Amino acid sequence: MTYILESYGCQLNMAEANALEILLKGAGLEKTEDPDAADAVIINTCSVRKSAENRIWGRLSFYHHIKKSVRPITIVVTGCMAERMKEDLLSQAPFVDAVIGTNEKMDIVEYLTSGRVETEDSYHFVSSYHRDGEASSYVPIMNGCNNFCSYCIVPYVRGREVSRPADDIMREIEHLDSLGVREITLLGQNVNSYSWKGISFPLLLDEVCRHLDSIRFVRFDSPHPKDFSPELIDVIARQERVCSHIHLPMQSGSSRILGLMNRKTTREAFFSLVDEMRAAISGLTFSTDVMVGFPSETEEEYLETLSAMDYLAPIEAFMYYYNLREGTPAAKMAEQIGEDEKSRRLERLIDEQLKRASLIKRGRIGMVHEALVISPTRDDRSALLARNAHNEMISFHPLSAQTGPGDIVRLETTELKGNTYLGREV
């Protein structure tokens, strides 16, 4: 049996897709990229924004055409959209053979080989999420979320927080280290609320760093500001393998809007946290998530978000306007803002962030970084692309023909082209 696996959305979805592929290949299934040659198609979905769901409907239409006109294929929809819209998918897309929720995702192999799927009451972690041969690996350490931000569908489709046993995490990381993996990213919807039998996230992160050899870069995503403790800041500052580039979701710069979002923080508390981190962590850079157009957001509150972005000064930002998600409290709030106004606010936010990030990045030209070689560059196969601890991409020509993906190099940035640096090996 041949299969196609398409995965959309967050890093955890991608990690789960890697784990599912291990199981599929272990059961003797073969991957193909050719839709006309596939026996089965698995679409691993995202439901965070309406645009993600619209894309899935488009892909389903594409595979429906193949099923009708080319060959009979088994179509499986899984992930968060499958969890949220199971009945709608079954009624609106009757050509779909199975809609399998988040907890049952790893049972897809059983479905394809025997036609059976059992309902799971809770989320289960697997032993490995690593894609063979890659120098980077995701390591999920928790699933779900207890925060119930008023705009967010995640707690409803991923469920409550479940932490992975610390011993299992350490076994996987030790295995990755033995394979020569150079970079890991610890994952969770609210990664820094991890807790397992008295082991907090700072304790886990500290312990991970004490047992590493080949792994040089340790990242984590996505934390919540309310759970960013002084102990965690201390571990990041002490452990040189933990990257000093932190994703710190802000969402809004207005305390009133943050309250309506149920973010459990304020503008002032967020600024205080940023100040604490900058004082403790050398060379710190930030990325963030930020939303505009939340119900009842005034122009003044929107401007507060713009000024908060100036204060945070992120070198990366994931920017979007509020998407109404049915079933969340924000969907029922009064004063929903029109699409045109949300688009205007987002356009200005993006424009200002692009200028800000370019200015910050140009100020970093001339710095020397350790970086992980990722791949040859797309336009010049004699050049290589590497990623440093700040998640910045650097294109360079290696000093040795033996240098390749998975190697750690020292690079000086010499020029900025778009979002990518040009550099030289030193």
Rounded to an integer, the average pLDDT of 103-107 is: 92
Q: Write down the CATH number for the domain with range 136-362.
A: 3.80.30.20
Q: Is 368-425 CATH 2.40.50.140?
A: yes
Helix 299-312 and helix 339-362, axial crossing angle in degrees, nearest 10: 20
Instruction: Give the pTM.
Output: 0.94
pLDDT given for residue 120 in this prediction: 78
In 73-103, which positions are buried (b, 16+ CB within 10 angstroms) versus exposed (e)?
bbbbbbbbbbbbbeeebeeebeebbbbbbbb
Is 368-425 in the same CATH topology as 136-362?
no
pLDDT given for residue 140 in this prediction: 98
Q: How confident is the model at residue 23 (pLDDT cuts 50, 70, 90)?
A: very high
pLDDT given for residue 262 in this prediction: 98
pLDDT given for residue 119 in this prediction: 79
Neighbours of 358 (CB within 10 A): 14
Residue 122 above 90 pLDDT? no
Task: Specify the pairing of strand 162-163 against strand 142-143.
Answer: antiparallel
What the block records as the tokens of 86 is 């199971």
d(CA 155, CA 147): 8
Domain locations along the chain: 2-114, 136-362, 368-425
Task: Specify the pairing of strand 285-292 against strand 316-321.
Answer: parallel
Q: Write down the CATH number for the domain with range 2-114.
A: 3.40.50.12160
What is the tens place of the pLDDT at every residue in 63-94? 999 999 988 999 999 999 999 999 999 999 99
